[in-house]
Structure 1
Amino acid sequence: YYLIKPKLIDAGIKLGRDGFFDYLRTNDLLVKPKRSYTKTTNSKHWLKKHPNLLKDNQNQPFMPEQVLVADITYVKSGEGTHYLSLVTDAYSRHIMGYHLSEDMRACSVVKALKMVQSNRCYDHTAIHHSDRGLQYCSELYQEALQAYKIVPSMTDGYDCYQNALAERINGILKYEFLLYECNTFNELKVLIKESIHIYNERRPHLSLNMLTPNQVHRNIGYNSQRKSQILAVSDFS
C-alpha cells in the first residue's frame, strides 16, 4: 500500500490501507499463509556450543554489521527438497549472504558466510548469531568466523524465539516471494537471486521507517538517528 499510494492519489482514487486490503481479500489476491513445517536444526551433537551474546537484550546493534543472524530453511522444486542458507544484518535487515544447496553440509552453509565477507561495508567487529546446529558448530564454520574476526553467538537450545529475526526473514522470502514451486534446482536458484535483490532493494519495512534494507544499510544519517534512539531507551531502562 505504501508503494502504490502515490499512484492511487495521481489517479484520483480514494482508498485507505484497510480498504485496499479489503479489496485484495474480496478478489482473492492476498497471499495465503502456509502452515507446513520442517525442522532443519540438529543440535544434539558433541561439538562446542557458544553462549548467547544477545540474551536479555545484550549487544543490540545501533549500526549495520554489528550483529549478523543466520539460519537454514528448506525450499522445494520439482526435483526435490533443497536448503537455503541465509545471513542477515540484524540492524538493516539486509540479506548479506545466501547459498542454495542440495544438502546441509558445513561446506555448503559456509558459502553464505563467505558472501557476507565479500559484501561487508564496515570493518568493525561483528557478532554472528545462529542456532546450535551442527553446521554452525562445525570446525569449518568456526574457522571461517575466526578468519573474518566475527564472534560466534548461539541460542541456548532449540528455541526459535532466540533467533526470531532470522526466522522472520525466512518467512518473508518463502511466503511473499517464493510462492510457486519451480521445476528445477537451477530455476529455483535464479528465483531466489531475484527475490533477494527485490527484498534488499525495493521492499520497504515498517520497522525501518518504510525504507528498504539497502537504504538503511548504507545511510549513515539514519544509523546515527537510530543509535540515539537506542541509547535513549537504554538510559530510560
Structure 2
Amino acid sequence: MSTQRFTAEFKEEAVRQVVERGYRVPDVAARLGVSAHSLYKWVKAVSPDRSEQQSQELLEAKSEVLRLRSQLRRTEEERDLLKKGRAVLCQGTRVKYRFMNEHRHDYAITLMCRVLRVARAGFYAWLHEPVSDHAREDARLLELIEASYSASHGVYGARRIFGDLREVGEVCGLHRVERIMAENGIKPVRGYKKPRAIAGRPSIIAPNRLQRVFTVDAPNKVWVTDITYIRTWQGWLYLAVVVDLFARKVVGWSMKPSLSRELAMDALLMAVWRRKPAGSVLVHSDQGSQYGSDDFKRFCQANNLEPSMSRRANCWDNAVAESFFSSLKKERIRKRIYKTRDLARADIFDYIEVFYNRTRRHSHIGGVSPEAFETAAA
C-alpha cells in the first residue's frame, strides 16, 4: 500500500472526513486503507490555512448578509413581477410595453424596464404612438400572406408565399415574411413527418467489444464506466465512475460541477493510478461525447486501454455501471436534494470508498464486499 498513488481529489475528500466531519485520523485511515502517517501529512498540509480561511469566510459572510438585506425588497418585487409577466418575457417589445402600461400603477417603470429588458425612453415614446408604421405594414402584409396561404390550400411555405408577394409588386424581404408567419402560427401542411433517429445502432468510434459478457475471471481485464447526475441546490453535480467487472469494485471516480471530458478522463486516470494494470484493459462505455472525444481516445492509447462502446440508446449494454448508479441512488441519495455540492461530494465519497467497496455485500460475488472478494482471490 505504501507504493500506491492517490489523486488530489481522493486526498481532499479524505481530509474532509477528518477536518469537517470530525472523525479521528486512525479511524479514517483504517476505513480508507491508507497509512495514518500519510493521512496526518495530508491534514497538516491544509490545516494551517483552514482557521484563517474560516475567519475570512465569516467576515465575507457578514458583509454578504448586509448586501443581501439591501437587495431583498428589490428581489421580491422582481419575483412578483416575473410571476405576472412571464407570458411576455419572450414576446416583442411592444407586447412588453402594453404589459407595462397595464401595471404601471403596481410597479415602478424603472423596475419593469430592468426586468423586461426594454428601454425606458422607448416605453414613453410608445405611449404617444402605440401602433407603429412597421406594425401597420405587418398587418397589411399578413392579409396578403393569409390570402396566398389559403389559395395554396395550406401547402405554401415562406419562400413560395414570398414569391407570390413579389409577383404582385410587394417590396419586402423573405425574413420578414418568415417572421410574420411564425408570429401568427402559419405553417405549411406536410404529409410526412421527419424520420426519427434509429436506436440501437453501433458506435462508429469503437465497436461493442464487451457484448454483455459481464463476468470475468481476473481483475484489470474489463472496466466499465459511465456518468450520472446528482441534484443539489447549487446545481447539478456530475459523477463518473469506473467499475472493475471482476469484483464489481469502483476503482476510479470523479465529481465535478460541469459535464466535460475531464470528468470521464479523471475517473479513468484514478483507476489507472490505483490499479496499475500490467496488460491491456477493455474499457466499456456508452456513446457519450465525453468518451468519444479525441483526448479520451489518446488517453486510452497512451495507457494500453482498449475502448468499447454500447449501442445507441441501449442501457443494457452497460448494465453494471447502471446497476451501481441505481444502488447509489436507492441506498444513499434516496431522492433527496443536497444543500451544497460539497455535502454531496462527502456523502458520495463515503458511500463509494467506505461502504460500497469495503463493506457492502454484493450478490454477484457471493454476498461479500468487492474488496474482500479481491483479497480472497489474490
Identify whether the pair has TM-score above 0.5, normalized to the shorter chain. yes
CA distance in 2, matches of 1:216, 1:121: 19
Q: Deviations over 1:55-113 (max 9, x none)?
A: 264x8521111110010011111212121111101121100111111111102221101
Match of 2:143 in 1: none
Match of 1:62 in 2: 217
RMSD across aligned positions (CA): 1.9
Residues 29-108 of structure 1: matches in 2 within 5 Å? Answer: 48-55=204-211, 57=213, 60-108=215-263
CA distance in 2, matches of 1:48, 1:102: 29
CA distance in 2, matches of 1:168, 1:121: 25
1:186 to 336, 339, 342: 342
The code of the aligned residue for 1:206 comes to S
Residues 1-237 of structure 1: matches in 2 within 5 Å? Answer: 48-55=204-211, 57=213, 60-120=215-275, 122-179=277-334, 180-197=336-353, 198-220=355-377
Q: Does the CA contact (< 8 Å) of 2:212 and 2:317 recur in 1?
A: no
Q: Deviations over 1:96-137 (max 9, x none)?
A: 111111111102221101110111054122100000111001
1:62–1:150 distance in 2 versus 1, CA, 3 Å: same
The code of the aligned residue for 1:146 comes to Q
Structure with greater helix share of residues: 2
Q: Does the CA contact (< 8 Å) of 2:253 and 2:270 recur in 1?
A: yes
1:121–1:181 distance in 2 versus 1, CA, 3 Å: same
1:56–1:187 distance in 2 versus 1, CA, 3 Å: closer
Number of positions where the alignment pairs a residue of Structure 1 with one of Structure 2: 175
1:61–1:186 distance in 2 versus 1, CA, 3 Å: same
CA distance in 1, matches of 2:376, 2:205: 35
CA distance in 2, matches of 1:60, 1:137: 25
SS in 2 for 1:55: coil
Whichever of the two has the greater Rg, that structure is 2
SS in 1 for 2:270: helix
Q: Deviations over 1:180-201 (max 9, x none)?
A: 4321011111111101021000
CA distance in 2, matches of 1:151, 1:219: 28
The code of the aligned residue for 2:345 comes to K
Match of 2:163 in 1: none
Task: With a CA cutoff of 8 Å and minimum separation of 6, indicate the structure with the bigger relative contact order.
Answer: 1
Q: TM-score, normalised by structure 2?
A: 0.44
Q: Which runs of 5+ in 2 are unaligned?
A: 1-198
Per the TM alignment, residue 219 of structure 1 is displaced from its structure 2 partner at its CA by: 3.0
CA distance in 1, matches of 2:233, 2:327: 22
Q: Does the CA contact (< 8 Å) of 2:300 and 2:306 recur in 1?
A: yes
The code of the aligned residue for 2:366 comes to N
